[in-house]
Every structure is written in structure tokens, then in C-alpha cells.
């Protein structure tokens, strides 16, 4: 019943109908609600342990956020995920980042992520490709060349990882120093082309005071120049992927939930839901039986998380 309500996003009335038709069990919507709340309270006791494992583990963390409607207002759902763990959290502000993170993180270009210090950052190049596509539509040739360059790099790195894995050399350097110098030089040439184009063709603005307005393509080129190491980290670091698709996939089901439910009426209800779905998503990644996981006690679930 909890599985139908939380994992399959069925409304309480439909869960009641399914229980009555298939199992001949008469329940009320209030009973379904109380059972889900009881399960959420048990899971909430181990949620801090789950968040600690994700934040301080050695796996690469994928971070992302999306809008979440609660009580008719816009809140934010944050996700921190790895290949084996998922942790969701809601916040009234978009910039409320997870704390005590260690190691490598992959994310988009939102400024709040860049403020997280003592971490190895990797930027999502899927976002970058979309931005380049928009600039290409404005007729800027450098963006088309950079777009093609990044796709070729991604293909080269993907094949290098495959060859290394087949040879049993997982974790070995993906490119030689000679090839990296060529990549670095080409990247610099494309940025120089972009910046030269915008400096020779400044945007005409009626603004007389303050910083001069720049085109989106100019801002993008300056960001690529400033964050070069983070955008190209996937080339030299085996553990940094080309995109942040893992976090985006983990958020996709929550967006589906929003389309079905519309919004949550209370903050408590939203917190209970994301706590339960953190465990469900983790169970899926680890190959656990979801129904069996949901009926575990808090102590048993904590032991299972620590043992995995």
C-alpha cells in the first residue's frame, strides 16, 4: 500500500479502490495517510545517515535542483545523488546547498554551487551545449565550432574509457600530456575567437552609467574562459562525467510526481514524501526489493545502509 502511494504516485482514493477490488480489504483514505506518515517517521530517523553517506562518501556527487510547489508557493527540491545513493531535500530558497560535502561534485553553472569550497568541481556540459546552441542561432560561428569540439572530446573520452576498461586499466590517464596540450590550445583558440568577435562588435546600449551590457554569447565565452578547468575536467579525471544526467534523472520522477499531484498542501507532507522517495531511489539503485525495504524498521534500514 505504501509502495502504491509513494513509488507509483497513486492518490489515496485510488489506493483504497485497489485494496478493495484486488484484496477485498476495506480501508479509508485516512488510514492510508496515517500508514504513510508512520513509514515516513521511521525513514526520517535514518535520513541523516543517508545524507552523511552521500556527502562524505568517495563517489562523485551529482547536484541539481528544481521548483517544487508546496502550499501554493514555490519551494525548491534539491537532490544529491551518486550511482548507489540518492538524497532529496526541500528548501524555501534555491541557494540552500547541502553541507559537509567532500570529494568531487558535478553540477550546472548556478553561482551557489561555485561558492562550495574545498571540492573538485565539474560542470555539466549538457547545459553548456544547450547554451551554445542558443548562441549558434544568433549567428556566432565560434559557438558552432566550440559545440563540435566538445562533442568530439566527449566521444574521444568515452572511447578511451571503454578501451581502458577492456584492458583492465580502469582509472588510468585518459589522455597523454601531448594530447592535452592540443586540447588546451584549441580551446583557447576558440575562446580567443569569441572574445575578439564581441570586442570588435560591442552591443549598442543607451545605458550611460554602470557596466556595459554584453551579449549572452560574450558572457558565455567569459565564463568558459574563467571556468576552463571545471568544464574540461571530464577529459583528465576518470570520475567526472561529461554531463550531470544522473541528478537530472533522479529529479525526473519528482517532476512527474508534481504533474500528478499538482502540489503538496503542507511542508510536513512534502518532507515526508521526499524522505520516503530518497529510500526508494536508493533501493532501486542497489537492487533491493522496494516493498521489503519500506517495511524495515529504522534500525534495520540503518544497518542495511551501512553494510552496503
In this model, does residue 246 exceed pLDDT 90?
yes
Separation of alpha carbons 232 and 2, rounded Å: 44
- Name which of 160, 186, 166 is nearest 238 in CA terms: 160
pLDDT band at 196 (very low <50, low <70, confident <90, very high): very high
Q: Is 116 left (phi over 0), alpha (psi -120 to 50) or beta?
A: beta
Q: Which residue has the higher pLDDT, 155 or 12?
A: 155
Greatest CA separation for the chain: 76
Per-residue pLDDT tens over the stretch 73-106: 999 999 999 999 999 999 999 988 888 899 999 9
Q: Which residue has the higher pLDDT, 217 or 40?
A: 217
In this model, does residue 47 exceed pLDDT 70?
yes
Do β-strands 86-91 and 120-123 pair in parallel, antiparallel, or remain unpaired?
Answer: unpaired
Of 10-24, 34-48, 112-126, 133-147, the one with minimum mean pLDDT is: 34-48
Q: What is the pTM of this model?
A: 0.88
Can you give the pLDDT at residue 208?
64
- Mean pLDDT to the nearest integer, 283-293: 88
Can you give the pLDDT at residue 192?
95
Q: Sign of the C-alpha dihedral, residues 164, 170, 172, 174?
A: positive
Q: Are 23 and 67 in contact (CB under 8 A)?
A: no
Q: Are 195 and 222 in contact (CB under 8 A)?
A: yes
Q: Are 32 and 16 in contact (CB under 8 A)?
A: yes
pLDDT band at 207 (very low <50, low <70, confident <90, very high): low
Question: Where are the domains positioned within the chain?
Answer: 2-120+245-307, 125-236
Amino acid at each position: 500500500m505504501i509502495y502504491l502511494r509513494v513509488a507509483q504516485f497513486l492518490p489515496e482514493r485510488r489506493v483504497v479502490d485497489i485494496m478493495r477490488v484486488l484484496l477485498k480489504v476495506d480501508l479509508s483514505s485516512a488510514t492510508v495517510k496515517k500508514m504513510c506518515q508512520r513509514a515516513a517517521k521511521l525513514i526520517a530517523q535514518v535520513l541523516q545517515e543517508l545524507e552523511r553517506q552521500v556527502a562524505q562518501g568517495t563517489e562523485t556527487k551529482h547536484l541539481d535542483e528544481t521548483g517544487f510547489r508546496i502550499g501554493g508557493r514555490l519551494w525548491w527540491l534539491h537532490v544529491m545523488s551518486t550511482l548507489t545513493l540518492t538524497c532529496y531535500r526541500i528548501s524555501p530558497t534555491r541557494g540552500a546547498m547541502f553541507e559537509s560535502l567532500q570529494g568531487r561534485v558535478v553540477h550546472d553553472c548556478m553561482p551557489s554551487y561555485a561558492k562550495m569550497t574545498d571540492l573538485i568541481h565539474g560542470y555539466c556540459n549538457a547545459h553548456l551545449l544547450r547554451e551554445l546552441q542558443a548562441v549558434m542561432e544568433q549567428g556566432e560561428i565560434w559557438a558552432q565550432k566550440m559545440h563540435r569540439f566538445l562533442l568530439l572530446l566527449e566521444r574521444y573520452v568515452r572511447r578511451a574509457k571503454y578501451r581502458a576498461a577492456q584492458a583492465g586499466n580502469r582509472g588510468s590517464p585518459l589522455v597523454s600530456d601531448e594530447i592535452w596540450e592540443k586540447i588546451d590550445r584549441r580551446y583557447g583558440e576558440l575562446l580567443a575567437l569569441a572574445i575578439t568577435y564581441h570586442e570588435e562588435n560591442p552591443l549598442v546600449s543607451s545605458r550611460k552609467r554602470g557596466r556595459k551590457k554584453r551579449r549572452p554569447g560574450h558572457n558565455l565565452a567569459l565564463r568558459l574562459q574563467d571556468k576552463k578547468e571545471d568544464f574540461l575536467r571530464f577529459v583528465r579525471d576518470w570520475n567526472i562525467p561529461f554531463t550531470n544526467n544522473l541528478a537530472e534523472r533522479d529529479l525526473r520522477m519528482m517532476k512527474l510526481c508534481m504533474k500528478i499531484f499538482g502540489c503538496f498542501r503542507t511542508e510536513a507532507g512534502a518532507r515526508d514524501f521526499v524522505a520516503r522517495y530518497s529510500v526508494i531511489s536508493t533501493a532501486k539503485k542497489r537492487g533491493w526489493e522496494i516493498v521489503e525495504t519500506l517495511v524495515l524498521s529504522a534500525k534495520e534500514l540503518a544497518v542495511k545502509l551501512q553494510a552496503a
